[in-house]
Structure 1
């Protein structure tokens, strides 16, 4: 899994008409967006920072602030993210609601702002930074899917239900209760004001690499059997995987082509009732990568059995799926799985501490003795890890790491040539730093 956090910037390749990017011959570079040079501006730490203090621009009466003056005041004072939609929201609700909305992520804040303004349409028609909401976030078509994180001892489940929350997944891990489900937009603030709420996030699907999917032909044995010398190990130890059940968390298993039956007929998967599917994914995007993983394992030993659950869930759902695979009570078998392999990436999982998925991985090992092996994803080239380095005579970050190099206070993001960027393509930048996440102890707010 790739681990990222909730402090991700809402930036896409759908360019703003008011701030077009500057083109270079071989790439595109963002000139204006949410992460401009923050040091010369006020850094916004929360929605509270959007509350206008001057008496001429602020009123306790909802809707009394003059929108034009509000935006002009923010531009004049060089705020980091002068966003009219959020400025209006912060000045049209009671201060207690503003504080509650600080527990709600940016996309849901925007939907609620549009609800108050009477401009919220059908969810499939809404956009966030010009990109269709449903293209980035999970939804049932009329309601956003959300993840609600709550203090372990808080009793809010029934209250969430009364607000219209339609629960899909629930679990308790570490000091947190976590729920995912569908929440009506008008209920967002009321949900955020419930006691013990840590955060409410719009649910994101796992990251999926672009790939060309071909209907499998079957009958091929992976070269890894010989390269890993698994065949020699089988002969030396007399083992073939018998008695071992492998759990797989991936996109789908029995949705492409003729599915599981094809793999059984080609002797790429075990016959009979040795493959159990807890939950599959039949979306058009399904690639049956889970079945491919099972076939690779089966090449290593024809005694392995398999349990599968789809990874096309939000983070809470993925943690629940791991729990289900490891549980002895899930399938009509004597035991749960002995080992789990997965290849899903969840962009908001934290780097500097454990999120719900990582905590669940630890729990199922401690409780069930089940090990989880995750795909590294070869994503190292898509990340940048640096220790803070001041620029001489400036508080700005110096991204230049070479000794004696010229200071660089802007981290350039190079995009592919325009010809290779398709409509709807997105650029998601994830910013994390080494302080506590989701528990209210962050000392340096940059979001």
Structure 2
């Protein structure tokens, strides 16, 4: 029995074209899903396949254009041959049957199956296809370049921005960290630390500074004994010293310098020259980026700076520890005064200090309250309420419920917060 090559030949050609289509589909998925960081590491380890993958994904537009061009060519050719084959076999109904059969074959064997495998094994698949795909990209480069020229100019006619990346490298890192945290690959503490590093560029010193009302200062007009006693009993190692008015900062006293002078004076604090011990104060604008301030601390080998506004008025102070706490969370030692900014007050309810930074609450409770318009929780409530609330008033916004528990003069000092399904302001009693 002789073989009918008028049927077998086209059928084998269709199978071969479907395999090529599957190759292109799987390559597209694997090369777009593979980890670029992993490929860079493999390239540093002298893996030539990884080097080819990095060349391919560095020009994502050219890669995608070449793969789509090759995929469409083989799919169209397979469909044409299938149409002729079915016309030979069935006659008049060939177009309908050829369309149905090729749709199923392309969908299952040339799209879903290879892409599913490529998603499950992106790195292995990408490394395996890197050489042939690189050849395809180079062969199709002139034609793909022409297609890209046409596409870009058509998109520009409609006002689309096709230049530059959609996401910055920082945004990509944030997205990757959030994704791995949701998948369980990054624990919350590690996510917060990594996010804290990225946030340094987006923060200014007034976002993290100690407010001026909380600064412990020393009056230069006091006797030397009183200044020494006050400094040694302070939980801080660096203390601003003022003369006449708290806005008139004349320097910084370091407890270590005082202790050394007290030792040299055999414990007689009255003979210590305070003016000789004070160091020059370092003033920085409140608009200074936290990352720039960190670099400045490193360059000047300083840990302490006073923050002023555009008029030179004292706003607060910032230390190296404040910046580090934005990365690793609160740092406390045996000399710190323990301040409970957040205390549990029942199931899903917390008592929060009004001056607690919003970023600290978000980090502690894994919330996402906005901190663009206010730095502290009290400031957020006042901003949203557009008034200074009375004690007992309740507000709901951003998916949370805020109850004013304590107020001193015009300052909210304590709030009760919880998750709220409502996002409506409620003025309670």
TM-score, structure 2 normalization? 0.22
> Larger Rg: 1 or 2?
2
Higher helix share: 2
TM-score, structure 1 normalization? 0.21
